Amino acid sequence: MIRMSIDRGQWPQLSRLLDAALDLPPAERDRWIEALDSSFDALKPDLRDLLSRASSVETRDFLNSLPAVSSGSSDSVTDAADHAGRCIGPYRLTRELGAGGMGSVWLAERTDDSVRRPVALKLPHVMSARIGLAERMVRERDILATLVHPNIARLYDAGISPEGRPYLALEYVEGVRIDRYCREQALDVQGRLRLFLQVAAAVAYAHAKLVIHRDLKPANILVTRDGEVRLLDFGVAKLLDDGRAEMTRLTELSGRALTPDYASPEQILGQSLTIASDIYSLGVVLYELLAQTRPYRLSRESRGALEEAILEVEPVRMSGVAPPGMQKALRGDLDTIVLKALRKQPEDRYATVNAFSDDVIRHLRRLPVLARPQSTWYRVSRLIARNRVTAMVVTVASIAVLVGAIVALWQARAAVAEGRRAEEVREFIATIFQEANLDSDQSRPASVLELLKQASNRVDALEAEPAVRVELLTLIGSGLLSLDDTDALENVARRAVDEGTQSLGSDHPLTVRARILMVWAHMYRGRTQEAGGEIDALMQVMTRDESAFGEELIELWRIRADQAIDAHRYEDAEAAAMQALTRAEASFGAQHPESLRALGVLSTAYRRQDKHAEALRTAERGRDLALKLFPDGQHAMAIFARAEYGRALAEAGDVAGGVEQLSLATRDAEKLYGPTARTVGFHLQNITQYHLQLGSIQAAVVSSTRAFDIMKEHAEPDTFNYAAALNAKTQALLAARRGEEALPATAQIQEAAKRLFGDTHPNAVGARASHALALGLSGRVDEGRALIDAVLADARRTQKPSARPFYIAGDLERLAGRHARALARAEEALALLNGGDGTAAELARVQMQVGLARVETGAAEAASMLDQALSGFRESQSEMTPAQADALVGRARLHLDAGRADEALPLLIEADQFWRDFDDQSRWAGEAALWLGRCLRTLGRGPEAADVLDRARRTLSHSPILNDRELVTRI
């Protein structure tokens, strides 16, 4: 039999020898042992003993451990006799539920007048004369008879058939294995813990009856349709004697009945068992339910490697191997609880199952658990968790978000925060949050930004090593990055970089992380060139030793993609984003937050290249992953993923759907960060362009004005981000034809674009065209025409010019009264748009312009072009716009020219009402009123016509356009 004196320290070497021997044919094993070096002499007896019991060593389930007992023909009962319909005692077999080496289990029912109910009938394969198995059956009957608990499958009956075959009639449980049930029901962490507590209650009850199970595993734990647990198979259980279960002659005959994956170290060594053995097995079961894998990573797949791991290797923390969506919930308390249950020494585990389950319950109630020391840091983290649903919900939730971000970052980088430095970092952060005094009755606890600023100031006075100070500043800066405070972020990041460079060196890992934080500050300030230079420098440092900068290198590839997008190098952005995604999925898996971040940047890169199908597919994948990782949506990554999905949706053609998604993302960002956060500004800026596409001009003015007011607090005036926000506002003002308001901004944007991109870059060309339009709308038509002529000359030299400068040129020529030139410019724009570029609303706008120019010049097909424009506006825009009102006026004029004033009237009433609601002081309001008045006069409605024409005269007399003032004299 297996020796009971195997030394724990010898086991790893013995296990490797056993693996090697088992790979040999049985006939060669003795010769191989004799040939071993003399240094192995002390292990040879144990090795021979183990090899002599190879079948027991390789067993993986009790039912497969048939003892080696010889049997005569007179004692045998064959499986062939078992079939549906056969009777065993008072039970008729219905169908086989399962079978193993020891016996089978059948669904059966009684044939006599007793209670008719289905039972699970347990039958051995051999006669009762085989003493070992009969003893087991009797023992299981005796044990189960003492256990009456709602979570333990009950014993209904036991006996011996007329053929001498023992049987047990057990409660038939219609259920599935607990691990499968958790998967199929997609239970969250709390749901799995509550299910586990039912198992623990059953085991604790058995222990109170002095019974240990000794084979706890998911296969022996079923869950019913109603979510009730049933614990099965006490066939290997042992009644305790003074708390210990010794080996018996039965165990020697049958082999050690255990399932190695769930066996405790003392079971592996064949030592006496206590309730601590069941606690260990429960720990493995809980580990597997939560992490969805088992505790040990094996270097080789063998029984020996598994037993070596159980005896010698510390389990991996669940939070490091669980699916990404569960890692955060497992980090901390649950990791600690389960690792305590899995301690190698029985005395180091929980003293009882009740103590184990009590800690699980304390965790569910957000109370400190007993498995870990009561440090300041730990007490503060529990204090914050308990207060998330108090009246201080907004502040506390913000603090909780920050704590989560900082703790997660710190834990991810714990490998570089060793020893005393690690403890200094933890206690410093704990002290800061403890000062928030969340359990007090103060009406207003410290806000998260106040806490961070306090922390930042205290670092200066902290007597600590430079490494501690740099790490603390970087952690605080990461919190500020998450909370969108650009000023504070840059201040802290610069201090961290300066101290790290001076004290540790610019290439030290802590300094590198601080430099990455500074790159983010450059990006948010709009300093694209500074960001690009630092990214290149950091890439050189990190690629020299990629193993030291795994997560940071992925982040840097993402930043490089963002920076390339800002610099309009979209192919470079796509390549960098693909690098980030590939590396993230290889390092963390496809269901990890790092992969989610990379998906968002990749979708943006696709969008900017007009790869709309790829962008939407990628963004949708990111949106779905974000909802899986952050179901409540209140997380920075979930907000970003939803916003990116909205942009991809809009640019793929569903503009209204895109605005809806972006609006939801903006709402969530306001809740998480506050109404003036940088992220809110970015989302509002993006919403503006889609409002313009939908024709929601007034909404675009509101959203763009608010976006700019936010962004100017975060970005410097000479940066791209500042100019982009200002440009969104000017585009809305130009769409509303408020040229004088837009003019100062367009001048500023024109200079910024020239400085950032150069004269011929599409952004610079577009900025100059906008300024030309603003000049014209402000009454400086000739200046605008001169500028737009220069812009068109540059645009024509490009390989793929935008249509926008051409139709802006058409607007300016029309304002100047040069309608033939207006028609030529508009037709050039139409030709470019007919090539496939531009939105449906943009195409309708140019069709309107061509139609109006044809009306003015008397060219053919004006009506057809205006009808196409009106149809395009109605299909693509949810509200009437100035351009659509222009088309209505133009179409009405054609009706008037044809003598159909009655058909012109409703079109002119609609256009006039639009302008009265939209901007009754606009010169276009005056123009619409002018044509409505003429129509009314034609229809013989003199008094009405006089009132409307008088309104037109007053409006046009204040127009900055010279031709309008001349027009007034002809009314």
For residue 99, count other CB atoms closer than 10 A to its CB: 15
Catalytic residue among 215, 233, 278, 484: 215
Q: Indicate the pairing of strand 87-88 with strand 175-177.
A: unpaired
Binding residues for ATP: 122
Whether 59 is covered by a domain: the verdict is: no
**Which of 86, 88, 107, 80 has its CA nearest to residue 96?**
107
Question: Is residue 358 a part of any domain in this protein?
Answer: yes
What is the domain-level CATH number for residue 144? 3.30.200.20
Same domain, 32 and 154: no
Handedness of CA 696, 698, 699, 701 (dihedral sign): positive
Query: What is the pLDDT, as a whole number, of residue 247?
Result: 42
Rounded distance between C-alpha atoms, residue 872 and residue 8, angstroms: 82
More confident residue, 846 or 521: 846
Burial class of residue 418, CB neighbours in 10 A (0-12, 13-18, 19+): exposed
Q: Is 709 a catalytic residue?
A: no
Distance between CA atoms of residues 287 and 693, nearest Å: 53
In a domain, 753, yes or no: no
Task: Judge if 210 and 338 occupy the same domain.
Answer: yes
Say if residue 503 is in the same domain as residue 622. no
Distances in Å between the Cα of 892 and the Cα atoms of 584, 842, 901, 969 are 60, 22, 8, 23
Q: Which of 95-99, 306-310, 601-605, 693-697 bottoms out in mean pLDDT, i.e. has the lowest?
A: 306-310
Angstrom distance (rounded) from CA 308 to CA 331: 26
Q: 958 and 942 in contact (C-beta within 8 Å)?
A: no
Same domain, 896 and 907: yes
Structure tokens at 393: 């919900």
Q: Which residues of 804-823 are buried (b: 16+ CB within 10 A; e: fewer)?
A: bbbbbbbbbbbbbebbebbb
3-class DSSP assignment, residue 314: coil
SS3 of residue 454 by DSSP: helix
Structural domain of 580 = 549-673
Q: Which of 334, 333, 258 is nearest to 291 (CA)?
A: 334
Mean pLDDT over all residues of the chain? 79
3-class state of residue 258 by DSSP: coil
Residue 576 predicted with pLDDT over 80: yes
CA distance 755 to 767: 12
Strands 221-224 and 175-177: antiparallel
Q: Is it the case that residue 887 has pLDDT exceeding 80?
A: yes
Residue 305 lies in a domain: yes
Round to whole Å and give the CA distance between 95 and 119: 11
What confidence score (pLDDT) does residue 257 get?
46
Residue 689 pLDDT > 60: yes
One domain, residues 217 and 344: yes
The CATH number of the domain holding residue 336 is 1.10.510.10
Residue 828 domain-assigned (yes or no): no
Q: Which residue numbers belong to the known binding site?
A: 122
CB atoms within 10 A of CB 347: 8
Q: How many domains does the chain have?
A: 7
Report whether pLDDT(270) > 60: yes
pLDDT band at 98 (very low <50, low <70, confident <90, very high): confident
- 310 pLDDT more than 90: no
- Supply the pLDDT for residue 906: 96
Res 644: pLDDT:
94
573 and 631 together in one domain: yes
Start-to-end CA span in the chain (Å): 118
pLDDT: is 485 or 909 the higher one? Answer: 909
Q: Is 822 helix (H, G, I), strand (E, B) or coil?
A: helix
- Give the whole-angstrom CA distance, residue 13 versus residue 15: 5
What is the C-alpha separation between 136 and 530, in angstroms, rounded?
77
Say whether 199 sits in a helix, a strand or coil. helix
pTM of the entire predicted model: 0.52
Question: Which domain-ending residue is among 310, 337, 371?
Answer: 371
Q: How far is CA 454 from the centre of its chain?
A: 31
Residue 175 β-bridge partners? 224
For the beta carbon of residue 298, count every other beta carbon within 10 angstroms: 13
Which 8-state DSSP code applies to residue 547?
G
H-type helices in 504-527, by residue range?
509-525
Greater pLDDT, 61 or 337: 337
Q: What is the DSSP letter of 86?
A: -
466 is a domain residue:
yes
Most confident of 275-279, 475-479, 915-919: 915-919
CB atoms within 10 A of CB 362: 17
- Torsion angle, alpha carbons of 491, 493, 494, 497, to 10: 160
Q: Residue 791: CB partners within 8 Å, gap ≥ 6?
A: 765, 768, 769, 772, 805, 809
- CATH, residue 608: 1.25.40.10
Tens digits of per-residue pLDDT, 713-758?
888 787 777 888 999 999 999 999 999 999 999 999 998 888 777 7
User: What is the reported pLDDT for 764?
Assistant: 85
65 found inside a domain: no
The pLDDT of 882-901, averaged and rounded, is 96
Query: Residue 956's pLDDT is what?
Result: 92
Angle between helices 720-735 and 739-757 (to 10 degrees): 150
Which H or E element spans position 969? none
Q: How confident is the model at residue 395 (pLDDT cuts 50, 70, 90)?
A: very low
Q: Are residues 130 and 204 in the same domain?
A: no
- What is the rounded radius of gyration, in angstroms, for the C-alpha atoms of the chain? 39
| Residue 450 CB partners (closer than 8 Å, separation 6+) | none
Residue with tokens 């049997």: 71
Evaluate if residue 618 carries a pLDDT over 80. Answer: yes
Positive or negative: CA dihedral 583, 586, 587, 591: positive
pLDDT tens digits, 431-473: 554 444 433 334 333 455 566 666 666 666 666 678 878 888 8
Arithmetic mean of pLDDT, 574-593: 89
Q: Are 311 and 8 in contact (CB under 8 A)?
A: yes
pLDDT tens for 692-714 read: 999 999 999 999 999 999 988 88
Q: Which residues pair with 105 in a beta bridge?
A: 98, 122
How far, in Å, CA of 597 to CA of 639, rounded?
A: 11
Structure-block tokens of residue 526: 């709009």
Tell me what pLDDT residue 298 has.
63
What whole-number percentage of the chain has pLDDT above 90? Answer: 38
Is it the case that residue 243 has pLDDT exceeding 50? no
The reply to whether 100 and 27 lie within a common domain is no
Cβ neighbours for 105, distance < 8 A, ≥ 6 positions apart: 96, 97, 98, 99, 120, 121, 122, 123
Give, in degrees to the nearest 5, the angle at Cα 420 between 404 and 438: 35
Distance (Å, whole) CA 809 – CA 772: 8
Same domain, 44 and 118: no
Tokens of 581: 């995604």
Report which secondary-structure segment, H or E, holds 950.
helix 942-956
Closest alpha carbon to 713 in 682, 689, 683, 678: 678
pLDDT band with cut points at 50, 70 and 90 for residue 77: very low
Q: Which residue has the tokens 């004799």?
A: 34
pLDDT given for residue 646 in this prediction: 95
Q: Are 911 and 930 in contact (CB under 8 A)?
A: no
Interval 894-915 mean pLDDT: 96
Show the tokens assigned to 632.
């409540």
Chain centre to alpha carbon of residue 308: 37
Q: Is residue 168's pLDDT more than 90?
A: no
Which tokens go with 175? 């259920």
How far is residue 455's CA from residue 640's CA, in Å, rounded to a whole number?
28
Evaluate whether residue 820 is within a structural domain: no
Q: Tell me, yes or no, whether 480 and 357 share the same domain.
A: no
CB 931 within 8 Å of CB 908: yes
Helix (H) or strand (E) holding 250: helix 249-254
Q: Are residues 206 and 319 in the same domain?
A: yes
pLDDT at 227 over 50: yes
Among 128, 150, 172, the domain-final residue is 172
Mean pLDDT along residues 151-165: 74
The confidence score (pLDDT) of residue 346 equals 87
Residue 415, pLDDT > 60, answer no
Q: Is the separation of the CB atoms in 891 and 866 below 8 Å?
A: yes
**Among 40-44, 292-296, 709-713, 721-725, which stretch is predicted with the lowest mean pLDDT?**
40-44
Domain final residue pick, 673, 688, 708? 673
Coil, strand or helix at 877 = coil
- On whether both 419 and 402 belong to a single domain, the answer is yes
DSSP type of residue 43: G
